[in-house]
A and B are shown apart, each in its own frame.
Chain A
Amino acid sequence: MLAVSGLRKSFGGRTVLDGFDLRVEAGEFVALLGPNGSGKSTALRCAAGLETPDGGSVEVRGSAAMVFQKIHLVGRRTALDNVCSGALGRLPLHRSLFYPQDVREEAVRCLDRVGLADRALERCARLSGGQQQRVAIARALCQRANVILADEPVSALDPQAAVQVMELLVDLAAEGMAVVAVLHQPELAQRYAHRIVEMRTAVAV
């Protein structure tokens, strides 16, 4: 589903990634571990197309969505609107001024999948951190992503919310998605991930 190979990236002469490889199959949940500054975020951002790698290749079958530690929803808009925005990539501009009914229906199903259908019309800023992160995952579902790139999806959450989000990600993998999650808690990685990839500074394993 996701195949990253020989990824190289440096910022201003500092090499951050030097030949990073990662393959994630459909149905697989891979945890990415490593110390601060080892290039985990950079690797995911390259895979998502937010950074242009200096070398190497990124292959995604279908589409990839990204989930962030800081969640990055539009707090002033409703959960439903935020989830709908995942569908923008397949909507022509003239249909994206107001989300069409079919997109709204799909978005409600995605919210239902993450257990938040009843909060659809609430502004995101009013939801808890864990709920917001699940809305962000619903946005990825509404994007019909096959690959989820999650950069520290639970680092800002309390343990209970973290478990909820982790279980959701595992379930999505079980349903056929390819999931990569950067984690800082090895226990979580061991408990949930099918495979753990460790990153070291400028050397990927």
Chain B
Amino acid sequence: MTITVPRRRWPSATAWVVTAVVVVVHVLAWQATEFSPAALVAGWEGMADFLSESLPPDLSVLGKSLEAAVITLYIGLLGTTFSIPFALVLALLASRATTSAVWGRQAARAVLSFLRSVPDVVFALIFVTAVGLGPFAGVLALVFHNTGVMGKLWAEAMDESDRGPREALRVAGASGPQIALHAVLPTVLPSLAGLLLYRLDVNVRSSLVLGLVGAGGIGFLINQSIKLFRFDEMVTHILVVLVLVVVVDQASAFVRKRLGA
């Protein structure tokens, strides 16, 4: 018996074209972003000044910093919590498991995509003009953006739920909302809770950035200390941020693990 060994295949024409396109796009991106290692090397003195000014950190602002960190946490918390009802309604409307009308699903998906595609920072800038500088604008921004992201994640979790129990209830004459309530939601609840905690973690980190554009919290303090060239204060704030992020991340991961989601 003879075994024919397949000949080694050379990359196809498509592979060459794809490679060429990828390379060209990177060259264009390099130029457009003014990517320049030389500028980085030339500016090293500035960086060194910056570092020498920022060390040692000014710990006298630690109290203020911690207070602001708590505000940042609160912004992330309320932004997540208040998006729950909206995300839930839109997810139920957007999921195949709970909405059979195609137009209804598409409308809900369009709303979710819109909310998701507008970055929370942009929402924050809009709400700062409406309700003024401060944490409330940050909460509103997170509610809007997180509704879009969490609604989509939740709808996907519902899509993946087992269709068997849904069919059993349909045969029993249950209506769409009843099926959602008694077959879909009980099944997916642990996944929804896991996704919620994941989003809380992300939103606390986002609320930092929102602070930079005026939505209160520790991000606002960082922005101020940069403007006042108080880099030693800034380092204190950043250390506090580091602790906050690690603590929230670990807590969220711990609870998610307990949920098995």
- Chain A residues packing against B (C-beta within 8 Å): 48-50, 63-66, 68, 70-77, 81, 85-91, 93, 96-97, 136, 139-140, 143
Across chains A and B, which 3 residue pairs bring their CB atoms closest together, nearest first? A89-B173, A72-B164, A88-B174
Cα distance A125–B170 in the bound complex, in angstroms: 21
Tell me which of A49, A73, A76 contacts B171 (CB under 8 A).
A49
Additional A-B contact list (11), CB under 8 Å, known A48-B171, A93-B177: A50-B167, A50-B171, A65-B172, A66-B168, A70-B164, A73-B168, A76-B187, A85-B169, A88-B169, A89-B173, A97-B181
On whether the beta carbons of A64 and B186 are closer than 8 Å, the reply is: no
Residue of B nearest to A75 (CB): B187
Given contacts A76-B186, A77-B186, contact A90 B173 (CB under 8 A): yes
Residue of A nearest to B164 (CB): A72
On whether the beta carbons of A85 and B164 are closer than 8 Å, the reply is: no
On whether the beta carbons of A64 and B164 are closer than 8 Å, the reply is: no
Grouping DSSP codes into helix (H, G, I), strand (E, B) and loop, the B interface class, with mixed when no group exceeds half, is helix
Residues of B in contact with A, size category: 20 to 34
Cα distance A161–B147 in the bound complex, in angstroms: 47
Q: Does B175 contact A (CB under 8 A)?
A: yes
On whether the beta carbons of B170 and A50 are closer than 8 Å, the reply is: yes
Q: Digitize B152-188: 1 where CB-to-A-CB distance is under 8 Å, 0 elsewhere.
A: 0000000000101101111111110111011100110
Cα distance A146–B127 in the bound complex, in angstroms: 59
Tell me which of A71, A93, A140 contacts B178 (CB under 8 A).
A93
On whether the beta carbons of A85 and B182 are closer than 8 Å, the reply is: yes
Q: Which A residues are in CB contact (< 8 Å) with B174? A: 85, 88-89
Can you list 25 pairs linking A and B with CB atoms under 8 Å apart? A48-B171, A50-B171, A63-B173, A64-B171, A66-B168, A68-B164, A71-B164, A73-B165, A73-B168, A74-B165, A74-B183, A74-B186, A76-B186, A76-B189, A85-B172, A85-B174, A85-B182, A88-B169, A88-B174, A88-B175, A89-B172, A96-B181, A136-B168, A139-B172, A143-B173
Q: Which A residues are in CB contact (< 8 Å) with B181? A: 96-97
